[in-house]
Amino acid sequence: MDLASALQGDGQLDAAEETASHAIDLLPEKGEEYQVCQGHRVLGRVYCVRGELEKAIHQFEVALGIASSFNIVDQLFWAHFGLADLFSEEGRFDDAHTHLERAKRYGFDDPYRLARVSELWAEFGVRQHMFEEAKSEALRALDIFEELGAVNAAAP
């Protein structure tokens, strides 16, 4: 799944899709739920980049189902975060807000995740022309990233 994620991040979408799908098929039904969940999230990101939104939503929802069943908190966070990002880009701000609030619940104890939530809130604010709120969230994210020594993690 790490390879599939790296391929997706590098823009090699076909290879990422093939790798994630193949890995999901190879993993046993029990004991590897974390990896299977991660694979569905990779597929969700691949389909999102391709503009295949229904497929992307489906993959994120499959990941949520697995993560919920096994209480895999970080996967719950990232699946909700992925849906929030997807819906925000589509202008579906109510749906985006719902998923970002859920992501925030699963990331409250992790400063990096909270910074990513603030970063996405800032993007929401810009998309909705709420510039003061966007600025506040962006500064909050930057402060957290600076505290973590991860300023390069902040979006450009």
Q: Which tens digits make up the pLDDT trace of 92-108?
A: 999 999 999 999 999 88
Q: What percent of the chain has pLDDT over 90?
A: 87
Confidence of residue 152 (pLDDT cuts 50, 70, 90): low
Q: Give yes or no for a contact between 153 and 117, defined as CB atoms under 8 angstroms apart.
A: no
Pick the CATH number of 2-79 from 1.10.287, 1.25.40, 2.60.40, 1.10.3470: 1.25.40
Mean pLDDT score across all residues of the chain: 93
Extents of the domains making up the chain: 2-79
What is the C-alpha separation between 65 and 146, in angstroms, rounded? 34
**Residue 111 pLDDT more than 80?**
yes
Q: Is residue 118 packed enough to be buried (19+ CB in 10 Å), middle (13-18) or exposed (0-12)?
A: buried
Vertex 148: Cα angle to 142 and 154 (nearest 5): 35
CB atoms within 10 A of CB 101: 12
* Model pTM score: 0.89
What is the C-alpha separation between 50 and 12, in angstroms, rounded? 11
Q: Give backbone dihedrals phi and psi of 47, rounded to 5 degrees, phi first.
A: -65, -35
What is the predicted pLDDT for the residue at 156? Answer: 44
What is the C-alpha separation between 153 and 83, in angstroms, rounded? 20
- Taking Cα atoms as reference points, which of 36, 142, 12, 155 lies closest to residue 88? 155
Q: Give yes or no for a contact between 31 and 11, defined as CB atoms under 8 angstroms apart.
A: no
Average pLDDT over residues 133-150: 92
